[in-house]
């Protein structure tokens, strides 16, 4: 039977399979598949690997012997009675030769091949797998995960043009010359395309070979392509087909001149063309976005009887609905893709975000002309008394609207109290209609910037929004690419140094950035707009706007006295509005306040003006409401950011002063105090967010120039108590992270670490823990270093809090790559902990685990294994075998065993730990997933490639379903899956996965993180297997240098990167350079981790290959024998690395003419290759061609 395996009969099976079984009972039947074997599983067919035994020539299939190669996956299962195996083969000479041998019975033993299992009766006793609904994003993600690089590139290019077979041919020849017919077939059966308007019984040929992408799929594919190539493919297609396909000429013109090319008229017939143009222009972005918006705003298509077609025919009567509502999902059943058929048309349209921004899961409603911005966050309330500044606001408007992609951020800078924040706020409220997104970020500390951006990522629905190290780069990328909004405004308020804030700017994005700062250094980076004091007329206007009428001369005198400082003028106006005090009386009080302040200390003029003006009101409040007066004292020690009223409620165990204690315990008294504060204009009250806020300059003068020393100490301690009272004391739990995020800036400002009580200091420690769990490892380490230094001096090195900080800090330093510091600190802390707590203590265990990790970072795998074994046995003795502490010790010991090359021991321990964790924690617990992943690595390194791949595929799928694909742990599973796919021979599948994983890790961690380096090393191997040796060499060299810089010249991981790079160099034709690297690696492997370690065996195998390439066969044979013997002892004689060593040894013996010695290493080893890896594995096929085997060292995390 000759087939492409695509038709419905292969999915339904009810009709075709019984016919094949009936034929197979009377004669030998085989299936010749027109597609390459790696595409069979993507069609409707369900092929299985099998070993077949044909007793005689031309024996009917039902009499054949059958063993399924993957039967071990389901122990106890057997092939049902009545099953008839039908072999499937490719239409190529080697496959037909295999078939001929099978049919004639020439193969005495079992022949390995691929079959479908048929029967005359199809059982329906077991229901089919439930159908899975895939969104457009999920379909494209799945396609990217399995597609070959040529097919993926072809799809991204074809998404820019009408897809006809003649167009496809030209695009492929011009842009993807490596793509063959099989890659086009791969695209057509992928489920991301359909043939529009097919009727019952028609084929795609009846429609002229016309295909289409659903709208959402097209947008996702275009977003992953280079804009220059997208534009180029349109130009090339228009040159060849512009006369026959007018749409292509129109698209070419729109790209050349987007502003003057006539807009298309949206009709039922042109809707698909307009949809394509809109998606294309949005992908090109920049100057094309306004045109894309314009043509998309035309509304639903209108019916025009006389309209003419502008392009190829694309629609059946259903197509207008499809153009408006593209299929976002498809029903997928076992073995079937939704290809060559019309997609569902009744699915909702969702906004498509840029994939590099991790894709937004949230859709936003259409915005009407008078609506406020769709996303509007943390912006202060508008000041109803804002006065003047018209000229400066006009300048600011011009600067912010002067361009798009190349606009520099605008900066407002000036003295404290000059009105920078008020100016920025007023600009926002005057320009609400200009933006779809406005987001205000308190930029005094990097942690606040990260918190603000992480909150925005959550609002946008970006993947990974729960973790700062993922959310921050994701939201920056989303803003940079203008998805989902390109009209955005970010305000970085109170930014100090440019170096602190610049890393958080979405560079070259379509939106705008506004900075407020007291630092004039922004002049070299942004276009600064300096704010001075009020013009006299503005001061007089503000004084006259509030309170009783004021004589112009008195207003002028008062403004002069206040130095025209906006904050001071506003305070004086508020005072007069409340009291109606005559100007001269106010000036007398003001002068007395100035003398008092200057008697205390010298101060800048702006501080004197604010302090004196504020002190007049402050003294009156002290008389009227002492509790309100003291609340302001407390708030002076908090951050200038809005202060939640929660800080002042529910604090029964806090005692500060009789008046304040009474107000904090009585909601009515507290409300009265806050009303009085508001009445005198001493703080900004935001009733909507239930916060109050003091200006930072007011806080400064209140702390430093108004409070007496004793009051200062008592009120600062009160601030510490209020903050500590809100500590949930559970920083590892994500449900409390919003509370810790709220407390963080105020804890910084109040300096809780300086408190004499334990519980406010514990808040600092808990904030460290929160930051680490939240993903801000750098800031967690900074807080830890600060706390350890302070507590060691004030409490001593053996105080419990000092020891806790030191213990946690060791792990934080290790996590950010400061391995030497971490090791030194952990050793010192362990010595102190042993003095205080002894050996049998959980805190001691934790420190010993830290030291185990330090030993791994130092490359001393043997010492790490010894220590982790001691900890494990001690935990079993103290806590029992099923205690979570013991199970974690077992998990850590298995890591040590694996790094030491004891793969079977690690495998046995991980199996036992997995079983116990399932019983204790449950199958879906994250730690159960963790040990399951470790178990799969054990299988992989032990040489069980097929089993490892199947289990990793299943684990990854389950992890995505349980925790989502946006978690970084999910990306770790993706990396592990890419490695198992490569080991099992799926090089293209591995490459696509490691590409995505590396991109994600770089975004989250940066290039120098241990996880990123491990992923980069794996990706360099994938690049080599794909044939891109230049890219593999470049990435391999970069990764080797990073390992060397991070772990040192002689660390096993550095040497492993060395060995992997050497293979690439030899394949590039430089075996001499490869030899140098391999000799150095082998020497250090043997002296550090030992000559029998699998890493040393691999280095030996590859060094022998280097020598053989240089013609030094005698030395190559010597090394080959050594590798075979050591490999058999350490890994077993059937391990793929040992098979590679043996096969290469046979090649070298044959090269020396020693054929008799070579014989045991040729055909017998080739048979083992087929048994261990399978006939279709690239390693088996290479051995069959007599090609030398190369071995890789895959990265293992420490």
Q: What is the 3-state secondary structure (H, E, C) of 994-1029?
A: HHHHHHHHHHHHCCCCHHHHHHHHHHHHHHHHHCCH
Q: Quickly state the pLDDT bin for 345 (edges 50, 70, 90).
A: very low
User: Is pLDDT above 80 for 1081?
Assistant: yes
Residue 420 has pLDDT above 50, yes or no: yes
Beta-strand ranges (E) seen in 526-583 are: 527-530
Q: In what order do the strands lie in the sheet with 643-644?
A: 643-644, 691-693, 684-686
Specify the range with the lowest mean pLDDT, choosing from 123-137, 507-521, 621-635, 1128-1142: 123-137
pLDDT of residue 306: 34
pLDDT at 317: 27
**What pLDDT, on the 0 to 100 scale, is given for residue 1040?**
94
> What is the pLDDT averaged over residues 595-614?
49
φ, ψ dihedrals at 862, nearest 5°: -65, -45
Note the pLDDT tens digit of each residue in 784-795: 999 999 999 999
Which region among 35-49, 209-223, 326-340, 907-921 has the lowest average model confidence (pLDDT)?
Answer: 326-340
Name which of 852, 452, 453 is nearest 642 in CA terms.
452
Instruction: Output the CA–CA distances (angstroms, integers) from residue 345 to 200, 216, 325, 328, in the order listed.
Output: 18, 12, 6, 9
The answer to whether residues 264 and 241 belong to one domain is yes
Lowest-pLDDT choice from 99-113, 485-499, 681-695, 753-767:
681-695
The pLDDT, as a whole number, for residue 335 is 33
Say what the pLDDT of residue 310 is: 31
Using the 3D structure, point to which of 349, 366, 401 is the last residue of a domain: 349
Specify the higher pLDDT residue, 12 or 319: 12
Residue 170 pLDDT exceeds 50: yes
Are residue 148 and residue 72 in the same domain, yes or no? no
> Is residue 267 classed as helix, strand or coil in its secondary structure?
strand
Per-residue model confidence (pLDDT) at position 516: 83
Q: How many CA atoms within 13 Å lie on the side-chain side of 975?
A: 28
78 and 147 assigned to the same domain: no
Q: 1129 CB contacts (<8 Å, ≥6 apart)?
A: 1092
- Residues 333, 470, single domain; the answer is no
Distance of CA 101 to the CA centre of its chain: 51
Hey, what are 721's tokens? 């108590």
Residue with the larger pLDDT of the pair 1195 and 1167: 1167
Percentage, residues of the chain above pLDDT 90: 30
Distance CA 459, CA 440 (A): 13
- 730's CB contacts (< 8 A; 6+ apart) are 736
3-state DSSP of 562-578: HCCCHHHHHHHHHHHHH
Are residues 183 and 259 located together in one domain of the fold?
Answer: yes
Assign 594 a pLDDT band (cuts: 50, 70, 90).
low
> Cα(28)–Cα(34) distance, rounded to whole angstroms?
20
Reported as a single tens digit per residue, the pLDDT across 545-591 is 766 678 888 888 877 776 776 767 776 776 666 666 677 776 777 66
pLDDT for the residue 312: 29
Looking at residue 651, what DSSP letter applies?
-
Alpha-carbon distance values, 318 to 178, 196, 297, 323, 982 (Å) = 37, 9, 22, 9, 43
Q: Name the residue among 115, 112, 111, 113 with its Cα closest to residue 55.
A: 111
Residues 1037 and 1059 in one domain: yes
pLDDT of res. 188: 79
In a domain, 663, yes or no: no
Closest CA to 1159 of 1168, 1167, 1151, 1150: 1150
Give the HSE-up count for residue 860: Cα atoms under 13 Å, Cβ half-sphere: 12
Q: Average pLDDT, stretch 43-64?
A: 84
- Domain-embedded: residue 711: no
113-117, 398-402, 682-686, 845-849: lowest mean pLDDT where?
398-402
pLDDT at residue 609 tops 70: no
Q: Is the pLDDT of residue 127 over 80?
A: no
Residue 790 lies in a domain: no
> What pLDDT was estimated at residue 1106?
95
- Identify whether residues 935 and 971 lie together within a single domain: no
Identify the weakest region by mean pLDDT among 45-59, 231-245, 672-686, 1022-1036: 672-686
pLDDT of residue 307: 33
Residues in CB range of 696: below 8 A, 6 or more apart:
416, 494, 640
Q: Is the pLDDT of residue 350 over 70?
A: no
Residue 1043: band (very low, low, confident or very high) from pLDDT cuts 50, 70, 90: very high
The confidence score (pLDDT) of residue 704 equals 65
Compute the distance between CA of residue 535 and CA of residue 541 in angstroms, rounded to an integer: 10
483 and 424 in one domain? yes
636 CB contacts (<8 Å, ≥6 apart)?
694, 698, 699, 702, 703, 707, 715
Question: Can you tell me the distance from the alpha carbon of 1108 to that of 1117, in angstroms, rounded to the nearest whole number?
Answer: 9
Q: What's the pLDDT score for residue 274?
A: 87
What pLDDT shows up at residue 107? 65
Q: What is the DSSP string of 1127-1139?
A: HHHHH-TTSHHHH
Q: Which range (74-83, 99-108, 892-901, 1028-1037) has the least confidence?
A: 74-83
Q: Which two tokens stand for residue 628?
A: 């309100």
More confident residue, 493 or 146: 493
Give Cα 41 distance to the centre of its chain.
30
Q: How far is CA 66 from the centre of its chain?
A: 46
Q: How far is CA 684 from the centre of its chain?
A: 39
Lowest mean per-residue pLDDT among 306-310, 643-647, 904-908: 306-310
Same-domain pairing of 178 and 292? yes
- Enclosing domain of residue 161: 137-349
β-pair type (84-90, 31-33): parallel
Residue 134 φ then ψ, to 5°: -110, 130
**Tokens 């993947």 belong to residue:** 463
Q: Tokens 């939201």 identify what position?
A: 475
Rounded to an integer, what distance in angstroms lies between the CA atom of residue 799 and that of residue 784? 15
Give the C-alpha separation, 496 to 499, whole Å: 9
List C-alpha distances in Å: 1013 to 21, 253, 1045: 52, 45, 11
Does residue 662 belong to any structural domain of this protein? Answer: no
Say what the pLDDT of residue 444 is.
Answer: 82
Q: Return the CATH number at 903.
A: 1.25.40.10
At residue 861's C-alpha, the angle toward residues 860 and 864, to 5°, is 90
Residue 1078 has pLDDT above 90, yes or no: yes
Residue 809 lies in a domain: no
Query: 512 has which bridge partners?
Result: 489
Q: Is 1114 exposed, middle or buried (0-12, 13-18, 19+ CB in 10 A)?
A: exposed
Domain end point (choices 87, 118, 149):
118
Distance CA 1099, CA 196 (A): 55
Contact between residue 809 and residue 785 where contact means Cβ atoms under 8 Å apart: yes
Residue 689 belongs to a domain: no
Task: Note the pLDDT tens digit of each residue in 1174-1193.
Answer: 888 899 999 999 999 999 99
Q: Check whether residue 1132 and residue 1089 sit in a common domain.
A: yes
Residue 1073 has pLDDT above 90, yes or no: yes
End-to-end CA distance of the chain: 53
pLDDT of residue 598: 41
Residue with tokens 């590139």: 153
Q: At what angle do helices 181-188 and 149-158 cross, to 10 degrees?
A: 70
The pLDDT of residue 498 is: 81
Classify the phi-psi angles of 337: left when phi > 0, otherwise alpha if psi is within -120 to 50, otherwise beta: beta
In whole angstroms, give the CA distance from residue 1150 to residue 1167: 18
User: Per-residue pLDDT for 648 more than 60?
Assistant: yes
Do the bridges between strand 410-413 and strand 210-211 make them parallel or antiparallel, or are there none, so unpaired? unpaired
Q: Maximum distance among all alpha carbons in the chain?
A: 121
Same domain, 338 and 431: no
Domain identity same for 981 and 1121: yes
Comparing CA positions, the residue from 870, 767, 817, 629 lying closest to residue 1198 is 817
Q: How many beta carbons lie within 10 A of that of residue 588, not counting itself?
A: 12
CB 60 within 8 A of CB 108: no
CA geometry: angle 905, 908, 914, nearest 5 deg: 135
Domain boundary, last residue among 513, 532, 551? 532
Residue 57: predicted pLDDT: 85
**H or E element: which one contains 112?**
strand 111-118
Residue 786 in domain: no
Do residues 1016 and 1056 touch, judged by C-beta distance below 8 A?
A: no
Q: Which two tokens stand for residue 139?
A: 């379909």
- 150, part of any domain: yes
Domains of the chain: total: 6
Contact call for residues 725 and 654 (beta carbons, < 8 A): yes
Kindly list the distances between the CA atom of residue 922 and the CA atoms of 50, 818, 886, in Å, as whole numbers in the listed order: 36, 35, 16
List alpha helices for 326-467, DSSP H.
390-400, 420-430, 446-460
Query: How far is it, in rounded angstroms, from Cα 937 to Cα 572?
Result: 71
- pLDDT band of residue 703 (cuts 50, 70, 90) is confident
Grade residue 693 by pLDDT with cuts at 50, 70 and 90: confident
Q: Residue 30 is encoded by which pair of tokens? A: 């085989």
Q: Over 90: is that where the pLDDT of 976 sits?
A: yes
Given a contact cutoff of 8 angstroms between Cβ atoms, the answer to whether 970 and 959 are in contact is: yes
């Amino acid at each position: 039977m000759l087939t492409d395996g695509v038709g419905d009969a292969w999915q339904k099976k009810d009709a075709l399979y019984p016919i094949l079984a009936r034929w197979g009972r009377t004669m030998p039947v085989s299936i010749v598949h027109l597609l390459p074997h790696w595409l069979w599983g993507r069609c409707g067919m369900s092929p299985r690997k099998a070993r077949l035994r044909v007793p005689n020539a031309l024996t009917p299939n039902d009499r054949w012997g059958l063993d399924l190669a993957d039967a071990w996956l389901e122990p106890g299962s057997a092939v049902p009675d009545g099953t008839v195996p039908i072999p499937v083969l490719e239409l190529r000479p080697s496959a037909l030769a295999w078939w001929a041998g099978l049919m004639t019975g020439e193969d005495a033993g079992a022949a390995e091949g691929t079959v479908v299992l048929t029967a005359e009766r199809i059982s329906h006793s077991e229901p089919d797998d439930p159908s899975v609904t895939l969104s457009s994003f999920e379909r494209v993600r799945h396609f990217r995960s399995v597609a070959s690089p040529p097919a993926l590139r072809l799809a991204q290019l074809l998404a820019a043009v009408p897809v006809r077979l003649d167009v496809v041919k030209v695009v492929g020849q011009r842009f993807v010359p490596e793509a063959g017919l099989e890659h086009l077939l791969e695209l057509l059966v992928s489920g991301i395309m359909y043939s529009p308007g097919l009727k019952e019984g028609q084929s795609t040929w009846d429609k002229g070979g016309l295909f289409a992408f659903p709208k959402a799929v097209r947008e996702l594919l275009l977003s992953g392509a280079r804009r220059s190539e997208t534009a180029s493919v349109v130009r090339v297609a228009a040159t060849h087909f512009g006369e026959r396909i007018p749409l292509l000429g129109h698209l070419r013109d729109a790209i050349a001149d987007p502003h003057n090319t006539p807009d298309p008229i949206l009709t039922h017939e042109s809707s698909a063309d307009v949809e394509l143009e809109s998606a294309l222009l949005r992908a090109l972005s920049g100057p094309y976005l306004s045109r894309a918006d314009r043509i998309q705003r035309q509304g639903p298509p209108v019916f025009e009887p006389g309209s003419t077609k502008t392009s190829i025919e694309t629609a059946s009567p259903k197509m207008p609905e499809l153009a408006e509502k593209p299929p976002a999902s498809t029903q997928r059943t076992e073995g079937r893709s939704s290809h060559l058929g019309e997609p569902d048309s009744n699915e909702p349209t969702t906004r498509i975000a840029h994939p590099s921004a991790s894709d937004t899961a949230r859709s936003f409603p259409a915005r009407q002309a008078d609506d406020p911005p769709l996303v509007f966050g943390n912006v202060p309330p508008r000041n109803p008394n804002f006065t003047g500044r018209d000229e400066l606001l006009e300048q600011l408007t011009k600067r912010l609207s002067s361009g798009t992609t190349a606009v520099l951020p605008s900066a407002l800078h000036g003295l404290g109290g000059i009105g920078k924040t008020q100016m920025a706020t007023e600009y926002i409220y005057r320009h609400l209609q200009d933006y779809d997104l406005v987001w205000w970020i308190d930029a005094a500390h990097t942690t606040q910037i990260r918190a603000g951006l992480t909150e925005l990522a959550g609002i946008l629905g970006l993947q990974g929004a729960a973790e700062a190290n993922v959310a921050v780069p994701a939201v920056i990328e989303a803003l940079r690419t203008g998805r989902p909004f390109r009209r955005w405004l970010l305000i970085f308020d109170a930014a100090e140094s440019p170096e602190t804030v610049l890393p958080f700017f979405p560079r070259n994005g379509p939106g705008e950035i506004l900075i407020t700062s007291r630092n004039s250094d922004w002049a070299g980076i942004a276009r600064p707009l300096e704010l001075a004091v009020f013009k006299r007329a503005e001061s007089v206007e503000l004084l006259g706007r509030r309170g009783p009428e004021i004589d112009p001369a008195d207003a002028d005198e008062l403004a002069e006295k206040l130095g025209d400082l906006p904050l001071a003028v506003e305070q004086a106006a508020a005072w007069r509005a409340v009291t109606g005090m005559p100007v001269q009386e106010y000036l007398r009080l003001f002068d007395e306040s100035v003398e008092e302040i200057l008697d205390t200390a010298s101060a800048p003029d702006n501080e004197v003006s604010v302090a004196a003006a504020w002190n007049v009101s402050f003294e009156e409040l002290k008389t009227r409401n002492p509790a309100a007066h003291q609340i302001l004292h407390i708030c002076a020690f908090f951050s200038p950011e809005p202060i939640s009223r929660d800080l002042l409620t529910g604090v029964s165990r806090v005692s500060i002063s009789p008046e304040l204690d009474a107000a904090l315990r009585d909601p009515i008294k507290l409300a009265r105090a806050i009303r009085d504060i508001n009445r005198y204009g001493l703080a900004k009250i935001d009733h909507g967010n239930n916060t109050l806020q003091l200006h930072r300059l007011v806080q400064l003068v209140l702390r430093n120039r108004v409070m007496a020393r004793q009051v200062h100490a008592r009120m600062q301690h009160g601030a510490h108590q209020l903050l500590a009272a809100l500590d949930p004391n559970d920083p590892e739990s994500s449900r409390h992270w919003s509370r810790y995020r709220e407390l963080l800036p105020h804890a910084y400002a109040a300096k809780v670490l300086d408190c004499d009580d334990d519980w406010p200091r514990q808040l600092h420690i808990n904030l460290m823990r929160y930051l680490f769990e939240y993903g801000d490892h750098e800031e967690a380490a900074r807080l830890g270093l600060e706390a350890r230094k302070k507590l060691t001096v004030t409490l001593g090195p053996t105080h419990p809090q000092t020891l806790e900080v030191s213990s946690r800090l060791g792990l934080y330093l290790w996590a950010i790559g400061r391995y030497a510091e971490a090791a030194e600190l952990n050793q010192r802390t362990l010595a102190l902990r042993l003095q205080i707590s002894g050996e049998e203590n959980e805190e001691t265990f934790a420190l010993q685990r830290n030291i185990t990790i330090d030993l791994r970072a130092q490359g001393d795998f043997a010492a790490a294994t010894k220590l982790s074994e001691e900890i494990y046995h001690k935990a079993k003795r103290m806590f029992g075998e099923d205690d979570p502490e013991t199970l974690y010790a077992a998990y850590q010991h298995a890591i040590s065993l694996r790094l030491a090359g004891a793969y079977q021991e690690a495998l046995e321990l991980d199996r036992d730990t997995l079983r116990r964790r399932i019983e204790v924690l449950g199958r879906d617990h994250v730690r159960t997933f963790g040990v399951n992943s470790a178990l799969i690595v054990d299988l992989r390194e032990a040489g069980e490639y097929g089993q490892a791949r199947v289990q990793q595929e299943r684990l990854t799928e389950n992890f995505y379903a349980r925790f989502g694909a946006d978690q970084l742990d999910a990306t770790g599973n993706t990396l592990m899956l890419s490695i198992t796919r490569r080991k099992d021979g799926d090089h293209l599948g591995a490459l696509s996965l490691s590409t995505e994983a590396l991109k994600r890790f770089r975004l989250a961690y940066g290039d120098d993180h241990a996880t990123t380096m491990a992923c980069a090393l794996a990706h360099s191997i994938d690049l080599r297997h794909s044939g891109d040796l230049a890219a593999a060499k470049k990435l391999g060299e970069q990764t080797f240098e990073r390992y060397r810089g991070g772990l040192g010249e002689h660390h096993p991981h550095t040497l492993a990167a060395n060995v992997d790079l050497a293979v690439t160099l030899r394949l590039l034709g430089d075996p001499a350079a490869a030899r140098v690297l391999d000799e150095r690696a082998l020497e250090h492997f043997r002296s550090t981790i030992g000559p029998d370690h699998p890493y040393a065996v691999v280095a030996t195998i590859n060094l022998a290959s280097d020598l053989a390439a240089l013609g030094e066969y005698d030395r190559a044979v010597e090394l080959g024998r050594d590798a075979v013997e050591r490999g058999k002892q350490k890994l077993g004689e059937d391990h793929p690395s040992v098979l590679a060593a043996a096969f290469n040894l046979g090649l070298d013996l044959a090269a020396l003419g020693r054929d008799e010695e070579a014989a045991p290493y040729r055909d017998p080893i080739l048979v083992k290759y087929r048994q261990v890896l399978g006939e279709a594995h690239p390693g088996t096929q290479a051995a069959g061609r007599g090609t030398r085997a190369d071995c890789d060292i895959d990265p293992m995390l420490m």
